[in-house]
Amino acid sequence: MFADSQVQLRESPSCLSKKLSHYRQVPADEEPILAKTLRQNQRSTQSRAILIEQGEPAAEICVILKGWASRQKIVSDGSRQILAFHLPGDICEFNALLGASSDTQTVALSDVRSARITRRALNELAATAPKVSQALWWEALSSNAIQREWLINIARRGASERIAHLLCELHYRLSLVGAASDTAFASPLTQAQLGNACGMSAEHTNRTLRKLRDTVGIGLEDGEVRFADIDAAHRYSDFDRRYVLLNGL
């Protein structure tokens, strides 16, 4: 089930490649090409620092290798709305694929290690590793499906279900890249950030989390989210994982 720890010591498969394998079987000969591309142009970013600025015509996409980031947009009153969380293995700024400028900002929620892939390198990848390249588009579609589900979450679910649903999603997405146990995951999120992503106030988020802990067994403490009963959590929040990987109906 889990990767051989010996191998991990030498070079563990990146989170990105783990993720892509869920969409498409990535051929063994393409794997090292991806690994090399990711090694090429890495960067470390401190928590709270900006990974991708708003309005810049970007020339490279950004792959999160380690840590969390959030995509957000500044609204006219100065406040910000979180639009997406980027976890290890996620790709930020598909806009860069075409050289479009970003209408959003991406900031590090923890210390982040990222790999940048220029458009040139992407073209190379398309030529030498077609399956990987195709899987990247798959990843783009997946992130849109997630975006749509967030809309549903905010538009239709009450506060508790909403928070619970988001936590279930994060847990599932992290599990896809081996970053979650069956019943818990580490998270750098503050209550305020969690609430912001769900379109609710920090105070109400706090009360909602208490309620979730008491009644559904979902707890958030010391940077760890813990599910007493993951199936119950899924049922409670109406979480249907299929949208994440576009797994048919």
* Closest distance to DNA from the beta carbon of 17 (Å): 32
Picked from DNA, a copy of itself, none, the partner binding residue 232 (CB below 5 to 8 A depending on kind) is none
Token pair 């600025």 in the structure block, residue:
53
Q: What is the Rg, in whole angstroms, of the alpha carbon atoms belonging to the chain?
A: 18
- Distance CA(47)–CA(109), nearest Å, equals 5
Q: Is 191 in the site for DNA (CB under 7 A)?
A: yes
* Closest distance to DNA from the beta carbon of 147 (Å): 20
Picked from a copy of itself, DNA, none, the partner binding residue 249 (CB below 5 to 8 A depending on kind) is a copy of itself
Q: Is 74 in the site for DNA (CB under 7 A)?
A: no
Residue 211 or 241 having the CB closest to DNA: 211
Q: Which H or E element spans position 84? A: strand 80-86
* Closest distance to DNA from the beta carbon of 227 (Å): 17
Q: Is 204 in the site for DNA (CB under 7 A)?
A: yes
The CA-based angle 170-236-202, given to 5 degrees, is: 60
What is the 8-class DSSP label of residue 42? Answer: E
Taking each helix axis as running N to C, give the angle between helix 159-176 and helix 130-156, from 0 to 180 degrees, rounded to the nearest 10: 170
Q: Is 232 in the site for a copy of itself (CB under 8 A)?
A: no
Q: Is 81 in the site for a copy of itself (CB under 8 A)?
A: yes
Please give the size of the binding site for DNA, defined by CB under 7 A: 17
* Residue 208 in tokens: 């909602």
Taking each helix axis as running N to C, give the angle between helix 202-215 and helix 159-176, from 0 to 180 degrees, rounded to the nearest 10: 80
Which region among 32-40, 69-77, 118-126, 212-220 touches a copy of itself (by CB under 8 A)? 69-77
- Distance CA(17)–CA(96), nearest Å, equals 20
Positions in the binding site for DNA (CB under 7 A):
158-160, 162, 190-192, 199-204, 206-207, 209-210
